[in-house]
């Protein structure tokens, strides 16, 4: 019987354990996938701490992001996917395409329905995306949460064009994806972070870095680096600890993609007047649809974008991967690979 990890939302990392799951018969639209790679996200920490929206109290298989090979297809699934196809799961198993809806975001993999940290998963084929030919499972497995969030914020919401300025915060998964996509699209990026060595790993030469620990009023540096223009898009990941400087760093008519809360989720230091006088737009982003994931992977394939993977772990060492995520020394993504 295939092995799977499970944890209990709200019960801490100590609740993570390996279990065996009985193989069950497929429903018509389902496929069975042999998992090859899984990536971690900061949300996995929030889930086991009980700080994530849409909680569940039953044990779930963690991780929204996984890719693998179809090993069995249900009677209806066989029309779109075949045994041997390489696939990646979408973050929201009920949001295929089009505008977001309450129903579409009601369940997310690895939170209130099972995720991908298992040797084998059974999923609805309609919410899987086929990998572009030759794409590594690890590359695809980095995309569903962090990659799609950056993609939606940059190109669906803010509709950034080449030559625009973007500000990213830190060197984690979302920040790294944004920097890599920006590079491919000719968007100029300022990275604020705690460590220039980490930032260098996701920055080719020519990109600009400001240390937010040394420069608490880093918006001044961003304005200077952009010759007074400011950032056309701020990917707001720090939340409470960054929002004030983010709005000060924003260009006239700019966008703030409201995404994260690494420094706390209350936005009590927000200066609304900055939004008003800059006629700016603040847009809540909550990952995206399977369609956005497919669009992102097509772009990644066409432009040869490679996500930065800090470390790779075996399935057996999955607990160490979560500990590494908590330690926050990674740049970009942490990946668990299965044979």
Ligand X SMILES: NC(=O)c1ccc[n+]([C@@H]2O[C@H](COP(=O)([O-])OP(=O)(O)OC[C@H]3O[C@@H](n4cnc5c(N)ncnc54)[C@H](OP(=O)(O)O)[C@@H]3O)[C@@H](O)[C@H]2O)c1
Residues of this chain that bind ligand X (CB under 6 A):
41-43, 46, 145-146, 149, 169-175, 193-195, 198, 237-238, 241-242, 259-263, 285-287, 325, 328
How near is the Cβ of 247 to ligand X at its closest, in Å? Answer: 15
**Least distance (Å) between residue 27 CB and ligand X:** 29
Beta strands in the chain (DSSP E): 3-6, 17-20, 30-39, 65-73, 86-89, 120-124, 128-130, 165-169, 188-193, 208-211, 231-236, 250-258, 281-284, 309-314, 333-337
Residues forming a β-bridge with 169: 192
Other CB atoms within a 10 A radius of the CB of residue 42 amount to 20
- If the CB atoms of residues 131 and 145 are measured against ligand X, the closer one turns out to be 145
Residue 80 or 157: the one with the smaller Cβ distance to ligand X is 157
Of 74 and 127, the one with the shorter C-beta distance to ligand X is 127
Residues 296, 148: contact at Cβ < 8 Å?
yes
Q: Nearest to ligand X by Cβ — which residue? A: 172
Residue 263 beta carbon to ligand X: minimum distance, rounded to whole angstroms: 3
Choose between 21 and 311: whose C-beta lies nearer to ligand X: 311
With both helix axes pointing from N to C terminus, report the angle between 42-49 and 318-327 in degrees, rounded to the nearest 10. Answer: 100
- Least distance to ligand X, CB of residue 19, Å: 26
Q: State the minimum distance, in angstroms, from the CB of residue 87 to ligand X.
A: 21
Residue partners of 14: CB distance under 8 A and separation at least 6: none
- Closer residue to ligand X in complex, CB, 67/262: 262
Do 38 and 116 form a contact (C-beta atoms < 8 A)? yes
Tokens of 25: 């018969």
């Amino acid at each position: 019987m295939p092995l799977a990890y499970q944890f209990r939302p709200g019960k801490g990392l100590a609740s993570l354990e390996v279990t065996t799951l009985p193989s069950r018969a497929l429903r018509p639209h389902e496929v069975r996938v042999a998992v090859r790679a899984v990536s971690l996200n900061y949300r996995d920490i929030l889930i086991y701490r009980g700080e994530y929206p849409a909680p569940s109290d039953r044990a779930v298989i963690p991780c929204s992001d996984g890719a693998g090979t179809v090993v069995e297809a249900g009677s209806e699934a066989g029309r779109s996917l075949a045994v041997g196809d390489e696939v990646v799961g979408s973050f929201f198993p009920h949001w295929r395409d089009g505008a977001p809806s309450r129903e579409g975001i009601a369940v997310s993999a690895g939170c209130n329905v099972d995720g991908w940290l298992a040797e084998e998963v059974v999923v609805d084929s309609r919410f899987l995306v086929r990998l572009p030919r030759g794409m590594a499972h690890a590359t695809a497995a980095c995309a569903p949460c962090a990659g799609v969030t950056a993609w939606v914020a940059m190109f669906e919401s803010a509709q950034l064009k080449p030559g625009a300025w973007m500000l990213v915060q830190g060197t984690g998964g979302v920040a790294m994806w944004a920097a890599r996509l920006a590079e491919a699209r000719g968007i100029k990026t300022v990275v604020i972070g705690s460590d220039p060595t980490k930032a260098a790993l996701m920055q080719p030469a020519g990109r600009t870095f400001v240390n937010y620990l040394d420069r608490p009023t880093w918006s001044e540096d961003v304005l200077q680096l952009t010759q007074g223009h400011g950032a056309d898009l701020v990917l707001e990941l720090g939340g409470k600890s960054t929002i004030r400087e983010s709005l000060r760093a924003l260009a006239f008519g700019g966008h703030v993609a409201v995404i994260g809360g690494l420094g706390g989720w209350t936005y009590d230091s927000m200066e609304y007047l900055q939004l008003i006088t800059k006629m700016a737009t603040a847009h809540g982003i909550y990952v995206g649809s399977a369609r956005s994931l497919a669009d992102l992977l097509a772009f990644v394939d066409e432009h040869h974008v490679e996500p930065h993977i800090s470390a790779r772990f075996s399935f057996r060492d999955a607990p160490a991967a979560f500990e590494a995520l908590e330690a926050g020394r990674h740049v970009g993504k942490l990946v668990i690979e299965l044979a």
